[in-house]
A = this chain, B = another copy of it.
Amino acid sequence: MTVSAPKPLEKAVLCQVGIVVKNADRMAKKLSDVTGLEVPATIITDDYEKAHTQFRGAPSPAKAKLIIFNMGQVAIEIIEPIGGPSTWREFLETRGEGVHHIAFTVADAARAADELSAKGIPTVQSGVFEGGKYIYVDGEKELHVILELLEFESR
């Protein structure tokens, strides 16, 4: 009997490209200038009490300023780290400004993260937000990019 290995990103939808920057407002203004899209509202991520952020296995007061442009099928998420240890700040410090992650919508983020971990792609950060939860997995070694698993609450 053959048991087929899990495919954690089977039918997962690539929904977002996340770019870490030093100044989110500046980048948003420029992106608006080239796309003609209005600058969307700024989001400040929740405090630990609400976000329950875990970074590298420990609770973190990680915070970021987010500006998310809906580009039709895919969103561009501009991320400015503003406090606490996080994958965003770590990326900025080690690699500089640039594409931090590509995000996939999945049905069960925890299961996908477990399966990816078994394939050498470990969890690096997780948290919850209004309407869902996210898990970043470190695909830099195997896929040369960090992945974000996004699980939205069904309504």
Contact = CB atoms under 8 A, between A and B. Distances in A.
A21 B144 contact: yes
A147 to B, nearest CB: 9
Which 10 A-B residue pairs are closest in the complex by CB-CB distance?
A: A7-B36, A99-B99, A73-B73, A10-B36, A97-B144, A9-B35, A14-B74, A14-B71, A9-B34, A30-B142
Specify how many copies of this chain sit in the oligomer: 2
Contact of A33 (B13, B34, B119, B144): B119
B14 A76 contact: yes
Main secondary structure of the interface of A (DSSP, over half): loop
Interface of A: 5, 7-10, 12-14, 17, 19-21, 27, 30-31, 33-36, 71-74, 76, 95-99, 102, 116, 119, 121, 140, 142-145
B34 A99 contact: no
7 contacts: A7-B34, A10-B35, A27-B142, A34-B116, A99-B102, A99-B144, A99-B145
A9 B71 CA distance: 10
Contacts of A27: 142-144
A36 B102 CA distance: 18
Contacts of A99: 17, 98-99, 102, 144-145
Given A12-B35, A34-B9, A95-B95, A144 B19 contact: yes
Contacts of A30: 119, 142-143
